[in-house]
Amino acid sequence: MAFLRPADAVRVKQRFDEELVGDVRLLTFIQPTTGLFVPGRAETDSGRQTEALLREVAELSDRLHVEVVNPREDPARAALHGVERFPAIVVQSGQVEGETGSQETEKRGRVRFFGLPSGYEFMTLLDTVVNASRQETRLTPASVGLLDAIVEPVHLQVFVTPT
């Protein structure tokens, strides 16, 4: 099933063609569904949907790569990225020419998405991909100047719902 309508796919492709500069990898942690029904615990297929959506989007540009990791098989990789909830997408830029990241060389992404990025979050994901590819921020110079005051690690968690 296609997630993107053909007209939207054309628009996204056009944007990627115009704006992507460097390679971006969407390192995606997905726990395969077990097929078990546990009362009180919903087993959604949002992981499978996330993978399908990202693969569809990655088809639109040679600069965009998707790597899917099963955290049960590679818990060290999930731990490296501090990912404890799934599905999770870590947006990585630079030096991603097809190779899978090793623990020694892999950079930690600084923007992560938890859950299926649908609705408005899909637009946020596209913006993040473009920013990562260009190694740019969209903030005004004034905001960037203010943020220079942050000299220690800061963790921002933005809770959203699909709209």
Q: Which residues of the shown chain bind other proteins in the complex (CB under 8 A)?
A: 44, 46, 85, 108, 110-117, 121, 124, 131-132, 135-140, 142-144, 146-162
Tell me the two tokens of residue 130: 């473009």
Question: CB of residue 144 vs other proteins: minimum separation in angstroms?
Answer: 5
Q: Which is nearer to other proteins, 10 or 136 (CB)?
A: 136
Instruction: Give helix 120-134 / helix 6-19 axis angle, nearest 10°.
Output: 20
Tell me the two tokens of residue 69: 């990791």
Q: Taking Cα atoms as reference points, which of 131, 144, 110, 129 lies closest to residue 60?
A: 129
Question: CB of residue 16 vs other proteins: minimum separation in angstroms?
Answer: 18
Q: Which is nearer to other proteins, 10 or 85 (CB)?
A: 85
Question: CB of residue 93 vs other proteins: minimum separation in angstroms?
Answer: 9
Tell me the two tokens of residue 121: 């979050």
Tell me the two tokens of residue 112: 């992560």
